[in-house]
Amino acid sequence: MLRNLLKNKRVLVALAAVAALAVAGIAYGYLSASGTGSGSGSVTSSTQALTLSISNAPALTHIGDEQTYEITASNTGKSPEHVSGITVSSIGPSTAATTAGCPAGSFSAGAPTTTGIEVPAEGTAIVGHVVVRFNDVNAVQDACQSTGTVAISLEST
């Protein structure tokens, strides 16, 4: 019976018209659909909330001494921060040691290591270590030994 219906040209024309209308309706619905939306976002450089400092600085009392200092990060931000790298941007005698006569070059630092610890929001954590050395610079360094203070500037990356 289906064969007989399909042989009838009128039925075929009607089925083709229905199929064409269905495809046209779907295409119209797809192409005429519209929508609106909006969004916003912001990115800030949150590492500005971090301050690095030396938290444990054993004294360097003799030329050739090496000590490992702890590096602490203080986070004043509202979200945790990760310190992936630390660099020593400068090292030398402190202002008091320089004033007392400790010569430049008396101290040096190795490459800092990081602990991989995340600094909590509004908190502190030990984030690394750096080895500091008391160098022999072929000058009188008595002032370095009497003050025993080193000025180190650190940067996080």
Q: Return the pLDDT at 23.
A: 55
pLDDT at 143 over 90: no
pLDDT at 22 over 80: no
Residue 6 lies in a domain: yes
Residue 22 lies in a domain: yes
Condensed to tens digits (0 to 9), the pLDDT of residues 72-112 reads: 999 999 999 999 999 999 999 989 889 999 999 999 999 99
Residues 65 and 126 in one domain: yes
CATH code at position 94: 2.60.40
- The answer to whether the predicted template modeling score (pTM) of the entire model surpasses 0.85 is no
Residue 40 lies in a domain: no
Residues 14 and 70 in one domain: no
Residues 79 and 134 in one domain: yes
Residue 43 lies in a domain: no
Least reliable range by pLDDT among 27-31, 102-106, 143-147: 27-31
Q: Tell me the three-class secondary structure of the chain, residue by residue.
A: CHHHHHHCHHHHHHHHHHHHHHHHHHHHHHHHCCCCCCCCCCCCCHHHHEEEEEEECCCCCCCCCEEEEEEEEEECCCCCEECCCEEEEEEEECHHHHHHCCCCCCEEECCCEECCCEECCCCEEEEEEEEEEECCCCCCCHHHHHHCCEEEEEEEC
Residues 121 and 151 in one domain: yes
Residues 99 and 72 in one domain: yes
- Structural domain count of the chain: 2
Average pLDDT (9-14) is 57
Q: Return the pLDDT at 38.
A: 47
Residues 22 and 52 in one domain: no
Residues 128 and 65 in one domain: yes
Task: Quote the domain boundaries for residue 23.
Answer: 2-32
